[in-house]
A and B are shown apart, each in its own frame.
Chain A
């Protein structure tokens, strides 16, 4: 699920912390954290609960907001799958991300590495297989694949911007190595 950007803890009263999010103050529960955080720490918050401590350097680098939510969704699925398989640790996770999915691979790896501590995937490497954008042009009716296309592109045959996208929007977990 999507999670907020990291929030700064400004005060702590037992299991309730006051956090600062872009200048707004909110109270969150610390019940779900494995160890008590300190004032000045950053946590990721979801639905009123701090669920993960996050390194200051990661926060200060900025620009991981969207990818952070995707990384946490990946970790959720990995942990569930791990419980089903009864594994102790995860060595690697392979995901398939389409080039038109709006995800920056480097940011996703960064966010995954920042969020994986305290999970069964703490030693896991995330590998990303990118999928080129493909489509069927509505004007020249040809199918195409554009290897270097990012978020915005056109039909390589006729230059049209009108097409059905048939690949390049993928966001899937493919497999993982477990012990």
Chain B
């Protein structure tokens, strides 16, 4: 006998993502899903952002990594609540992994929760975790061809932070191409240029981000 199923394969993920979202809304916390390739500077951007915003906002962090707790230790040193998720090999975070650690965070006391996804430029963009906004970090050292090679993450993100601009004099990265291709893929994309090494551009980025919580 043939039975119709017609279900999205990620339906279970989306259902749990929706549950997470309700919990975040009830707690009044704005949730950011931070994505990007390994080495793009996701954790460095987080550190800079937390230092900039800590006087004004209560920020919590979920760190997603395949193994280890190095990133959580870096963030924990800034004296903000942080939970480490080890995916044990999986290439992205999903809604259930987030759901399982929510009790470990003081959600009601937070203004913003930043979820640092597993370093990967492809599939984290496919999985909702219950966030208000997806964003990505691209290091200019990764090359100007990346938007067109990995279009989905650029299409799904609301903000693109171009990191390591202090390296521009030593690189052949065509910044106009990065900007134009990114905006072609996603005309609503908000683009920031920063250097986590020397702090350039962090204030404008952090100001924009903090305005989202109000």
Binding site for B on A (CB under 8 A): 1-7, 21-24, 26, 45, 47, 65-66, 69-70, 73-74, 76-78, 81, 85, 87, 95, 100-102, 138, 151-152, 160-162, 165, 171-179
Chain B nearest CB from A18 CB (Å) reads 13
**Which residues of the other chain, B, contact A24 by a CB distance below 8 angstroms?**
67-68, 86, 88
Within 8 A of A (CB), among B140-192: 148-149, 151-152, 155, 181, 184-185, 187
State the Cβ distance, B153 to closest chain A Cβ, in Å: 11
B13 proximal to A (CB < 8 A): yes
Complex contacts, B100 vs chain A, CB 8 Å: 47
Asked whether A178 and B10 contact (CB < 8 A) given A7-B89, A21-B89, A69-B90, the answer is no
Verify B8–A171 contact, CB threshold 8 A. yes
B44-73, CB < 8 A from A: 66-68
For this complex, 26 residue pairs linking A to B, each with C-beta atoms less than 8 Å apart, are A1-B13, A1-B96, A2-B94, A2-B96, A2-B97, A5-B90, A6-B89, A7-B89, A21-B67, A21-B88, A24-B88, A47-B96, A65-B89, A69-B90, A74-B9, A77-B7, A81-B3, A102-B126, A138-B184, A161-B148, A162-B184, A172-B9, A174-B4, A175-B3, A175-B5, A178-B3
Q: How many whole Å from B34's CB to the nearest CB in chain A?
A: 18
Q: Point out which of B5, B16, B67 has the most chain A C-beta atoms below 10 A from its C-beta.
A: B5
Which residues of B lie under 8 Å from residue A177 when comparing CB positions?
Answer: 1-2
In Å, the complex CA distance between A115 and B185 comes to: 36
CB distance from B6 to the nearest CB of A (A): 6
B52 CB, min distance to chain A CBs, angstroms? 33
